[in-house]
Structure 1
């Protein structure tokens, strides 16, 4: 079920990004709005960061050279949390780069999820919250956040296509 959820995120990402130019992907509906490029980069970075943390593996972003390919002016560990308008504007990428990175993270996510035993879903992974966060709750949180951002990207694409 969780693998299916991540597959749906990938479908929406491809639909939101496919066939758009780098300028269209970077377009913002107003001066402080997020762009499709930033949303897809951010949701993929969050998935990469959080899943790597849960799996105890390196992030695809740094381990497989995506950080260098994107050439963004952020530290390698940046995921977009706390970004300001100027940071959003700095995320420019072609559709193939965005979907390539997302695909690599998706494949890594699915491979790890395929090896995950159901009895681990109740393992506490973050005691900083009350109640503490379990592995299952963290996975739902990642899915929810990513689906929201993918939907936002799809909405922006619809607005751009109607202009």
Structure 2
């Protein structure tokens, strides 16, 4: 199976459980680090997720993976919160992040920059506007390589 096929299979297994318990699936990663494979499932909910909830989701998903066996090699399963620097993968993630401090990188320079760290003022589905200092930058969504919440120091 390809990485994308595995991620889709895992999402199909875990999404009904998450939806029925009020959790949000933030991301799934299936990556090789050194000689080990890791299946990482990032989950959140309004007000944050705690370690006991991650444990229950991990137990459920582990049972599903054992029954359906979509991964042919040994791997480590990790279920966790996306953390303070949560990735903003989908347009809806950016909509929810309006008013928050973000980091956005682009595929090509916009206003001479490829990295933008500041307050997300707006996102209309097509463009994001980020304020850095007193200057506003409008970034076409199609040119966003990655986006995440950022920590203000």
**TM-score (norm: length of structure 2):** 0.25
Return the structure number with greater helix share.
Answer: 1
Name which one, 1 or 2, has greater alpha-carbon Rg.
Answer: 2
**TM-score (norm: length of structure 1):** 0.24
Return the structure number with greater strand share.
Answer: 2
- RCO (CA 8 Å, sep 6+): is it higher in 1 or 2? 1
